[in-house]
Amino acid sequence: MVKIQNRAHILTEKINPKSQMIDTLSTEQIIRLINEEDATIPLAVREAIPQITAATEIVIAAIKNGGRLRYIGAGTSGRLGVLDASECPPTFSVPPDLVQGIIAGGWIALRQAVEGAEDYPEQGAADCQAAGLTAKDVLMGIATGGTTPYVHGAIKYAQSIGAKTIFFTCTPKEDLGLTADVIIEVLVGPELITGSTRMKAGTATKMVLNMITTTTMIRLGKVYRNYMVDHQAINAKLVDRGTRIISELTGLSYEDAYQKLLEADKHVKHAIVMIKKGVSLPEAQRLIAEHDGFIRFAFDDNNNDFPTSGK
């Protein structure tokens, strides 16, 4: 029997006075109220930027040292972790194992609620062990209400093997009963529908996870200027995007850029270096590796070399 805990003091479980008559409002009034509350989320995230920065630096250092990032959560939190992780390989051409999400209840929980799965700390630990978590890795626990036993068990297991830990919550950290290397506290306040953390807390979670992985990938050389240069063009949309990036950064026509992309086995970054340095694909690969994945070396004037794309 799982011990029941009175969670009335948890911020995400409190009643929002703005919505106590929400069931009497018109459709448009409800939507406007939701929109007004959503507008407060970026401000709450902004307050946590120092902690988000510290967490991101931990992730960058771990990956540079051969480690990986693992998200773990239950319900909405778990699904958002899996979502962010799954978007890293196509966006930044990283191995699927580099960033992964672990969700209470397993893959079935991505499509339907498996609510009881979050009640067992030992399962969180077991799932981390099954996922091969090591001391080189970073485990980021996501629990907007702060108390999820599954996530607490996972964090404690990670700490026991020497892995770095990050904890994301939307309730004051003093209520957690847990420590981590970094605690990211985004206080979005009570939900319009009491306890429905799929709303403001979920949106805040998505924003923070995007910040962490996007910043990490930029710092690892996956982006040049604001171009997604380290993606492999594996579908028609990405082929077009890659072709346009090559054209804009090198001055080649769209057609010539497309041909160069094909020569580079559809790797945008490789094609750019091949063009800018006049080298073969193997040499471009060697040069990129020599510069730790960054391609700024390929441009003669790093500040001003921005050719007009060919037409």
Residues known to be catalytic: 87, 118
Cβ pair 74, 117 in contact under 8 A: yes
CB neighbour list of residue 125: distance below 8 Å, 6 or more residues apart: 153, 154, 156, 157
> What type of residue is 256?
D
Cα distance between residue 257 and residue 252, in whole Å: 6
CB neighbour list of residue 46: distance below 8 Å, 6 or more residues apart: none
Cα distance between residue 233 and residue 268, in whole Å: 7
Q: Is the dihedral of CA 299, 301, 306, 308 positive or negative?
A: negative
Report residue 181 as tokens: 């290397």
How far, CA to CA in Å, does 49 sit from each of 46, 53, 73, 205?
5, 6, 21, 13
93-117 CB burial, b ≥16 within 10 A, e <16: bbeeebbbbbbbbeeebeeeebeeb
Report residue 73 as tokens: 């959560």
Cβ pair 109, 103 in contact under 8 A: yes
